[in-house]
Amino acid sequence: MQVLFEEFEDFLRGVALATGGKKSARSFMLEVEAKLREVPNLEVEKEVPVVYAGRKGRVDFVVTIDGVYRVGMELDRRSPRKRSLLKLGRLGGGYVMLREISDVLRVSPLKASEER
């Protein structure tokens, strides 16, 4: 199965439904990673360093689709954390997967004024 860039958000929603629920953050991360790695045209990087709001952090996953489109992903519990939004904004946007409600939210790139 291949995933096109235009279909990626729908693919992530399916992954969230299949892997979400009341489980530990670690088991959720491992299950999401396994689902991503099953798709041949996705290259998955884990714990990618990023600097945001003067701090150093790591984005849970950066996924490259067809060697062209690079998308950041953060995994949170019930709602997106501010630092998740800031980190994804530094990457030019991405997605937050919420494990307890099995949902996916798209994050837009941040303007410099929003980083504070």
How far apart (Å, rounded) are the C-alpha atoms in residues 52 and 5?
26
Tens of pLDDT, residues 18-59: 988 888 999 999 999 999 999 999 999 999 999 988 999 999
- pTM for this prediction: 0.88
Confidence of residue 115 (pLDDT cuts 50, 70, 90): low
Residue 42, SS3 per DSSP: strand
Domain chopping of the chain, boundaries: 5-106
What number does CATH give the domain 5-106?
A: 3.40.1350
Task: Report H helices in the chain.
Answer: 8-19, 25-37, 82-90
Separation in Å, CA 84 to CA 3, 7, 18, 70, 89: 24, 23, 22, 17, 8
